[in-house]
Amino acid sequence: MKLTPFAKLFITVVILGVLGYAGWHYKGAQIRQWAGAENPAQQAQATGVGSSDFDPLKNAPPDPSRGTGSTGVADATLATGGKLGRTLVVGINTWAGHSPGIVFNNGMDPNAGSAYRQKYGLDVKFVLLEDPAAKLAAFRNGNVDIMWDTVDNWAREASILAEQGQKAKSVVMQDWSRGGDGIVSLATINSIEQLKGHKIACTQFTPSHFLLLYLMSQSGLSSEDRAGVEKNIVFTQDAPAAAAMFKARQVDAAVTWEPDLSGAVTARGDDAHVLVSTTAATNIIADTLVARQDLIDRAPDTVRDFVHGWLEGIERIKQDPNNAYELVARALKLDADTVSGMLSGLKLTAYADNAQFYGLTGGKPHYETLFDTAFIIWRKKGLVTRSVEAKDWADSRFLTALAADYRGQHVEEPTLAAKAPSASDRAIINKQIQIHFTPGSDEIMPGSYFVLDSLGETMTSFGNTYLRVEG
User: What's CA 307's distance to the chain center, in Å?
Assistant: 20
Give residue 316's pLDDT.
Answer: 98
Helix (H, G, I), strand (E, B) or coil at 349: coil
Give residue 423's pLDDT.
Answer: 57
pLDDT, tens digit, 9 for 90 and up, residues 222-247: 989 999 999 999 999 989 999 999 99
Q: How many Cα neighbours within 13 Å face the side chain of 306?
A: 28
What are the two backbone dihedrals, phi and then psi, of residue 200, each rounded to the nearest 5 degrees?
-130, 130
Residues of the chain above pLDDT 90, percent: 58
How far apart CA 156 and CA 179 sit, in angstroms, is 24
Helix (H, G, I), strand (E, B) or coil at 10: strand
Pair 178, 414: CB distance under 8 Å: no
How far apart CA 427 and CA 196 sit, in angstroms, is 16
Q: Which domains does the chain have, with CATH numbers?
A: 8-63+415-470 (no CATH), 88-177+287-406 (3.40.190.10), 181-277 (3.40.190.10)
What are the two backbone dihedrals, phi and then psi, of residue 87, each rounded to the nearest 5 degrees?
-70, 135
Collect all residues with Cβ–Cβ distance below 8 Å to 420 and sequence separation of at least 6.
none
Give residue 456's pLDDT.
Answer: 56
In 3D, which of 73, 114, 60, 71 has the Cα closest to residue 90? Answer: 114
Pair 74, 362: CB distance under 8 Å: no
Total-model pTM: 0.77
How far apart CA 101 and CA 10 sit, in angstroms, is 51
The model's confidence at residue 286, banded by pLDDT at 50, 70 and 90, is very high
What sign for the dihedral angle of Cα 358, 361, 364, 369?
A: negative
User: What's CA 96's distance to the chain center, in Å?
Assistant: 15
Mean pLDDT, the chain, whole residue set: 83
pLDDT, tens digit, 9 for 90 and up, residues 97-153: 999 999 999 999 999 999 999 999 999 999 999 888 899 999 999 999 999 999 999
> What is the helix (H) or strand (E) element at residue 435, kind and residue range?
strand 427-436
In this predicted model, which residue has the larger pLDDT, 254 or 435? 254
In this predicted model, which residue has the larger pLDDT, 130 or 48? 130
